[in-house]
Structure formats: C-alpha cells, structure tokens
Amino acid sequence: MIKKVSYKDQVYQYLKQAIVKGEINPGEIYSEQMFADQLEVSRTPVREAVLQLKHEGLVEIYNNRGISVKPISIDDINQILQARTAIEGYSVKYLTERITSAEGQKSLKQLLACLNETESLLEESTGHYKYMKADIEFHGIIVHFTKNMYFIKTVDQMRTRLEQVTVNSLTFKNRHRDALSEHKKIFEGICSGNAEKAENIFIEHMLITGNILKKMF
C-alpha cells in the first residue's frame, strides 16, 4: 500500500535538512510557532518533529523559549570518526576480500557509478549538500555490502551528524576535488584485492577528514 507521508514526517525532514545545510544556526533560539507559520501547519507536527530531533541529539528544547540546534563539538567529531573507522574500515576489508564474488562485482559497479556521478557534480560546480549526498552514498555502499544490520543501524543513527560534518568539511578549500580523489584511491585499493592496503587507504581518508574538521571547530 502507498502510505501518505504525515505532516510530522514532512516537518521532520524539512528541519533535518535545514540543520544539515546550516540554514538553522546553532546557538540561535527558534520558536515552534515560527516553523509552523513558515510551513503552514499547526504546532502539533512541529512539536512532534522537534521531539524526534531532540531524541536524536540534534536539538535542545528550552521551556517557554524555543529550540536550538546543538553545535558540533570536537568530541562529536572524534566519536564519529572513531565509529566510522571501526565500522567502515572493517567493511572495506570485507568487500576487498570478496571482490571477485558476484555480489562483490555488483558493489564495485555501484561504487564506480557513484564516483562517476560525483565527478559530474564536481564539473557542475554543485553545492555542498548535493555533493555530500553522493559522498555518503559511496561509503554507504561499502557498509551495506557486509549485510551486518548492527553496522547499518549504527551508521543510520549518526547519519544526520555525519551529514553535518561532511557538509562542513566540504567548505574547506578544494575539498570537493580532494575528497573525490581520495574516494578513487579507496576504489582502487578495493579493486586490488589487497584488504590491508584498502583499509590503510580508507584510514588515511578518515585522518585527512578529521584534520580538516578539527581546524574548523
């Protein structure tokens, strides 16, 4: 059956995207009524969406004042990078060791298609948000290959924060082009069939990303 998307879900997606894009600034206080008026809905779906965002650790709610986006801290960055290195590092090795299998070859084609799409976005000089989506899709293909639901759920749980830090890293000079180059190296490492080499290339990618983010926060 086709399910009608609720107002709450639509408001949630709108607010989450606005947080990722930086259109809702950390530290500023916003009222639920302001978003309700802007989106032409009642306060109820806004309140429900805000509560979900609070549960995900993205916003703070201040009684009788409003809501505020939680800023990204160095601790957030460190924990995200640690989780990604552990999960994705293993996933890169897992895929590389099975690259000659039918499923491995299928994932390889998906990764290549993602790289080609990312390159076309680079040539179009697209904004950070659209490029970020392609960036995260590349990493997602690798994690999903493991079919490990604990890995997949953990990555999904930190997705919005991950999108935030990725968008921020892409504002760094030449980061779009450099990130694509690093992804190509990861792809080549996986194609080599050398799991240790592929994992080391991925870890280097995480170190570069981490160093950029720590300069920005």
Mean pLDDT of 155-176: 87
pLDDT band for position 159 (cuts 50, 70, 90): confident
Mean pLDDT of 116-132: 83
Buried b (16+ CB within 10 A) or exposed e, 44-75: ebbbbbbebbeebebbbeeeeebbbbbebeee
Q: Do 7-69 and 74-216 fold alike per CATH? A: no
> Shortest CA distance to 88 belongs to which of 96, 78, 76?
96
Residue 168 pLDDT > 60, yes or no?
yes
| Architecture of the domain delimited by 7-69 | Orthogonal Bundle (1.10)
Every domain of the chain and the residues it spans: 7-69, 74-216
CA distance 59 to 43: 17
Mean pLDDT of 173-201: 95
- pLDDT at position 6 is 86
Residue 217 pLDDT > 80, yes or no?
no
How does DSSP assign 77-141, residue by residue?
HHHHHHHHHHHHHHHHHHHHHTTTSHHHHHHHHHHHHHHHHHHHHHHTT--HHHHHHHHHHHHHH
Residue 1 pLDDT > 70, yes or no?
no
Cα 75–Cα 76–Cα 80 angle in degrees, nearest 5: 115
Mean pLDDT of 53-76: 89
Helix, strand or coil, per DSSP, at residue 157: helix
- pLDDT at position 3 is 53
Tens of pLDDT, residue by residue over 92-115, are 999 999 999 999 999 999 999 999
Neighbours of 103 (CB within 10 A): 12
- pLDDT at position 4 is 56
**What CATH number was assigned to the domain covering residues 74-216?**
1.20.120.530
CA distance 17 to 24: 9
Mean pLDDT of 2-8: 70
Burial class (CB in 10 A: 0-12, 13-18, 19+), 149: exposed
CA distance 184 to 107: 14
Average pLDDT over all residues of the chain? 91
- pLDDT at position 197 is 97
> Bridge-partner residues for 61, per DSSP?
67
Query: What's this model's pTM, rounded to 2 decimal places?
Result: 0.85
